Structure 1
């Protein structure tokens, strides 16, 4: 599987698709394929942060990932682990950021696991998150971002959830390659995720303990 990660990191589009098709034919779990692709995508993000890749390469990697998801999404619906009425998750990319590739992958996976997902889109203001939580009674809120300038915005959302009297009812997870334990502590969120599967498992755990 490491070769798939390497091919995505190198932005070798044809090789990536060939390997994904090969793994699917071999019966490899789509979640395992996605996990390896996520690692490759994180490698691209690190190269971008280091100045070795530029915005063009970053956008190209996102395009490749979207095409991979088109191959994998039909397989998720065939899984034995799908649960009906698994719960409700509100998710969105916070104000000041319009990146959505990571968020979209999480949304697809959550829905494949039976969750009802309220996707608020990108550049979402604080108030919109609060409104969605009140309207849906969701127990999980996902905040997505790719720009480190959004750390204060994430913190503002968490504070707004607290001020609305919902903090003891809602578990908050922040997600994106910029997230870390230090960022989680700064924002006051309950958890952070650098990959889609971590976000899905967090939601499953929250509703399993409700």
Structure 2
């Protein structure tokens, strides 16, 4: 088995205590850091697909994401300043009036695993705060707005409209949350919609490539 294949299996199966050493072994064997990162991103893609298909659940997904984070920690010093490692910056937050963060946090982990640099604004985020964050951060390619309550769907609409009306460009807006549908996403002017964290990572990559 190749060194990368070994790392990928450890990430997929959530062996977080072994991933760091396996990544270091691959580096010592001469495998490029970018190649290892791409392998781990592929693994998280598999995890996301299994989650979307109902084959695994939130705990397994969190463990896999934690394992990937351990591997990325070993690679980071080697990739500092290398912008090619990232698909850009993703601003994420739960919209105004909504205090739910578990789903948003899971989506954030999965999008990060897909190769984005994450800026998490937290919960109950005012529309203008999304716009400020886009201005404050470099290379923003994606803005992810979450809404978990039916009563905050108007806030989701308002957030997307404010972001789109800001005059800022170069990024796509993705929305999601329990009451959100692809039809609603299209209606409010979002560029994409994801029904769960696994598909959010896939859609995120589709939107910015």
Pairwise TM-score range, normalised by the shorter structure: 0.5 to 0.7
Contact 1:152–1:187 (CA under 8 A) maintained in structure 2: no
Contact 2:101–2:122 (CA under 8 A) maintained in structure 1: yes
What is the CA distance between 1:184 and its match in structure 2? 0.9
Distance in 2 between the 1:147 and 1:73 partners? Answer: 26
Per-residue CA deviation, residues 158-193 of structure 1 (Å, 9 max, x unaligned), is: 221232102x43211101122112211332111111
What is the CA distance between 1:86 and its match in structure 2? 2.1
Change (3 A) 1:111 1:35: same
Distance in 1 between the 2:161 and 2:150 partners? Answer: 18
* Matched residue, 1:48: none
Equivalent residue pairs, number: 158
What is the CA distance between 1:156 and its match in structure 2? 1.0
Higher relative contact order (CA 8 A, sep 6+): 2
Change (3 A) 1:132 1:111: same
Counterpart secondary structure, 1:146: coil
Q: Where does structure 1 lack aligned partners over 5 or more consecutive residues? A: 1-22, 41-63
TM-score (norm 1): 0.64
* Matched residue, 1:76: 68
Distance in 2 between the 1:157 and 1:164 partners? Answer: 11
What is the root-mean-square deviation of aligned Cα atoms in Å? 2.9
Q: What does residue range 3-152 of structure 1 map to in structure 2 within 5 Å?
A: 24=13, 31-37=45-51, 65=58, 67-77=59-69, 78=71, 84-137=85-138, 138-152=140-154
Distance in 2 between the 1:154 and 1:118 partners? Answer: 18
Distance in 1 between the 2:13 and 2:99 partners? Answer: 31
Q: Where does structure 2 lack aligned partners over 5 or more consecutive residues? A: 1-11, 15-42, 73-83
What is the CA distance between 1:31 and its match in structure 2? 4.5
* Matched residue, 1:44: none
Contact 2:193–2:203 (CA under 8 A) maintained in structure 1: no
Distance in 2 between the 1:156 and 1:207 partners? Answer: 23
TM-score (norm 2): 0.64
Distance in 1 between the 2:94 and 2:114 partners? Answer: 21
* Matched residue, 1:197: 198
